[in-house]
């Protein structure tokens, strides 16, 4: 398609979309006047019913837990898909390890870079784990905390190199951890189905509001999601890092 034809097509479909958007927005309530009763009701009953201050977490892991299960498996399928696409290609084109890049021979990461990334990793882990385990009390949660903690994969790659990353976060255990955590979410659902007759009904003792170990199955599912998301993103970093790595000569002992 020529550039002109594409511009014309974008303009035409954009005009159609504009009309549809205006028609669709015509019936919206004005900004700040959301009428939905469901959320208002949850804001009123959930703190007492589930002993949880963070209603978003309650929606995610309890009231609409089934949706989150689906969401988690979207993530799981995407990670598996990326691994499939990249590894299949890798087999065909780069079965052999890359030859050492001579131009980069003298280039080393300075001590400052390595020290900074080690420091950044410590801060990232502390913050990510804090967010993940305080899903019920603060605006945190398994998804956010897991994603932030997995940032250590990127930091390891950028600051310490591919070799360190693949040694400290080997692929096989990361895959196993991700699969077990994803499976545990579904297993909790099945267990609650057997125990209470409803899928993902909160069946564990709720504990006291605001305490670290409270909110029953919400806390357990949240932990599963945190581990799954963290392992999944680390796997992604591993795949992309493997794809874009530059083989450096083994560092000699100093």
Residues interacting with other proteins, by CB under 8 A?
Answer: 3, 6-7, 10, 14, 21, 25, 28, 30-34, 36, 38-40, 42-44, 46-48, 53-56, 58-60, 64, 67-68, 71, 74-75, 78-79, 81-82, 85-86, 89, 93, 137-139, 141, 143-144, 147, 210, 229, 236, 239-240, 243-244
Least distance between other proteins and beta carbon 64 (Å): 6
**CA proximity to 242, closest of 175, 177, 176, 163:** 163
Least distance between other proteins and beta carbon 173 (Å): 21
**Is the Cβ of residue 47 or residue 207 nearer to other proteins in the bound state?**
47
The pair of structure tokens assigned to 152 is 């250590």
Residue-wise DSSP of 96-120: SPPPP-GGGTT----HHHHHHHHHH
**Is the Cβ of residue 43 or residue 101 nearer to other proteins in the bound state?**
43
Least distance between other proteins and beta carbon 189 (Å): 17
Q: Contact at 8 Å (CB) between 250 and 103?
A: no
Least distance between other proteins and beta carbon 56 (Å): 5
The pair of structure tokens assigned to 159 is 């600051």
**CA proximity to 202, closest of 45, 51, 40:** 51
User: What distance in Å separates the CA atoms of residue 162 and residue 165, rounded to the nearest whole number?
Assistant: 5
């Amino acid at each position: 398609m020529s550039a002109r034809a594409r511009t014309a097509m974008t303009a035409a479909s954009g005009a159609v979309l504009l009309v549809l958007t205006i028609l669709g927005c015509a019936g919206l309530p004005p900004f700040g006047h959301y009428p939905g009763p469901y959320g208002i009701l949850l804001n009123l009953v959930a703190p007492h019913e589930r002993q949880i201050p963070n209603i978003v977490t309650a929606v995610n892991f309890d009231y609409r837990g089934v949706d989150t299960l689906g969401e988690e498996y979207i993530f799981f399928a995407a990670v598996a898909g990326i691994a499939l696409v990249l590894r299949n290609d890798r087999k065909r084109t780069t079965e052999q390890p890359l030859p050492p890049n001579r131009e980069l021979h003298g280039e080393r990461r300075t001590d400052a870079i390595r020290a900074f990334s080690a420091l950044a990793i410590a801060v990232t882990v502390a913050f990510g784990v804090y967010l993940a385990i305080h899903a019920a009390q603060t605006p945190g949660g398994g998804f956010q905390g897991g994603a932030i903690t997995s940032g250590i994969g990127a930091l390891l790659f950028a600051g310490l190199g591919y070799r360190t990353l693949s040694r400290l976060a080997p692929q096989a255990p990361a895959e196993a951890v991700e699969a077990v955590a994803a499976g545990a979410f579904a297993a909790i659902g099945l267990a609650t189905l057997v125990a209470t007759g409803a899928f993902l009904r909160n069946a564990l003792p709720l504990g006291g509001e605001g305490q670290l170990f409270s909110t029953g199955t919400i806390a357990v599912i949240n932990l599963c999601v945190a581990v799954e998301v963290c392992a999944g993103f680390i796997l992604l970093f591993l795949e992309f890092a493997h794809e874009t790595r530059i083989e450096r000569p083994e560092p000699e002992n100093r």
